[in-house]
């Protein structure tokens, strides 16, 4: 196994784990797969058009708040490319605050293929959902519902039919879902963040006082939901 940890100039680690060809699936360090790990995308900052500077302050503030409640669990902020501005901002701010980079780090990759493509074991993943908790749309919501198959939609419906901004919903993933069997994901947590896009429902019209409050609430609900299944 080769493990490559790239440290940014600011010191906060961005982890990239390479899986070598001779490694059988499932053999990625037994110990690592035992560590409760939540992978989450940056809520509201793409389709919902939330300001990246402000979002990065909220993310780092909330991570800091939850750090001492985590135990041995880990939080991982994920985005698709190494050019991700939100990842750079968060890495720099987390390093400034000296947040433990073993328990919170950033990772580049598709949140639906973190284990098979990235070698990172995450038993829980978060989804930037829509208020109807429906598949489709775009971004990470479409990707997660596609990768999970119909099992996720059915399991979601059993829990709730809609979500208010600032809230999260923990959904146990049936073992028939490919996300479970291939990626080791046991739960998806849907999160509805604040919306600043006038073409989407409940637009906050640039009200960032309310927006930051709702985004903070969304991360609190997400991390609480994760801790309720991690420990």
Minimum CB distance to ligand AR6, residue 3 (Å): 21
Q: Which of 61, 137, 149, 178 binds ligand AR6 (CB under 6 A)?
A: 137
For 149-175, give one letter per residue: b (16+ CB within 10 A) or e.
Answer: bebbeebbeeeeeebebbbbbbbebbe
CA 103 to chain centre: 14
Q: Which is nearer to ligand AR6, 137 or 174 (CB)?
A: 137
Contact window for ligand AR6 (CB under 6 A) among 8-16, 20-28, 105-113, 223-231: 105-113
CA distance 21 to 23: 5
The token pair at 144 is 């997660």
Q: Which of 17, 38, 60, 140 binds ligand AR6 (CB under 6 A)?
A: 140
Dihedral of the CA atoms 216, 222, 223, 224 (nearest 10)? 100
Instruction: Convert residues 142-161 into a mask of x (bound to ligand AR6 by CB under 6 A) and - (unbound).
Output: -x------------------
Q: How many CB atoms lie within 10 A of CB 79?
A: 23
Dihedral of the CA atoms 22, 124, 188, 110 (nearest 10)? -50
Binders of ligand AR6 among 48-87, rule CB under 6 A?
A: 48, 78-80, 86
Q: Is 222 in the site for ligand AR6 (CB under 6 A)?
A: no
Contact window for ligand AR6 (CB under 6 A) among 57-65, 106-114, 156-164, 180-188: 106-114
Q: Is 139 in the site for ligand AR6 (CB under 6 A)?
A: yes
Q: Is 42 in the site for ligand AR6 (CB under 6 A)?
A: yes
Q: Which is nearer to ligand AR6, 43 or 168 (CB)?
A: 43
Alpha helices of 160-198 — where are they, by DSSP H? 178-183
Asked whether the beta carbons of 173 and 151 are under 8 A apart, the reply is: yes
- Contacts with ligand AR6, residue ranges (CB under 6 A): 41-48, 78-80, 86, 110-112, 128, 130, 137-141, 143, 193, 200
């Amino acid at each position: 196994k080769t493990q490559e940890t790239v440290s940014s100039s600011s010191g906060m680690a961005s982890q990239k784990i390479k899986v070598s060809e001779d490694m059988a699936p499932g053999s990625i360090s037994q110990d690592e797969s035992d560590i409760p790990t939540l992978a989450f995308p940056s809520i509201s900052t793409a389709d919902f058009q939330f300001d990246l500077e402000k979002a990065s302050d909220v993310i780092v503030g909330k991570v800091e708040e939850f750090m001492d409640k985590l135990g041995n669990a880990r939080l991982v902020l994920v985005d698709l490319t190494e050019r991700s501005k939100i990842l750079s901002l968060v890495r720099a701010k987390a390093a400034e605050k000296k947040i433990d980079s073993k328990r919170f780090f950033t990772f580049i990759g598709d949140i639906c293929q973190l284990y098979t493509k990235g070698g990172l074991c995450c038993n829980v993943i978060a989804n930037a959902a829509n208020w109807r908790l429906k598949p489709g749309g775009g971004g990470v919501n479409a990707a997660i519902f596609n990768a999970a198959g119909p099992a996720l939609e059915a399991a979601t419906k059993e829990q709730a039919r809609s979500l208010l901004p600032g809230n999260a919903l923990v959904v146990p993933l049936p073992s028939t879902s490919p996300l479970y069997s291939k990626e080791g994901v046991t739960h998806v947590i849907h999160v509805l963040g604040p919306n600043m896009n006038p073409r989407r429902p409940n637009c906050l019209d640039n009200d960032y006082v309310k927006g930051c409050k709702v985004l903070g609430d969304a991360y609190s609900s997400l991390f609480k939901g994760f801790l309720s299944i991690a420990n």
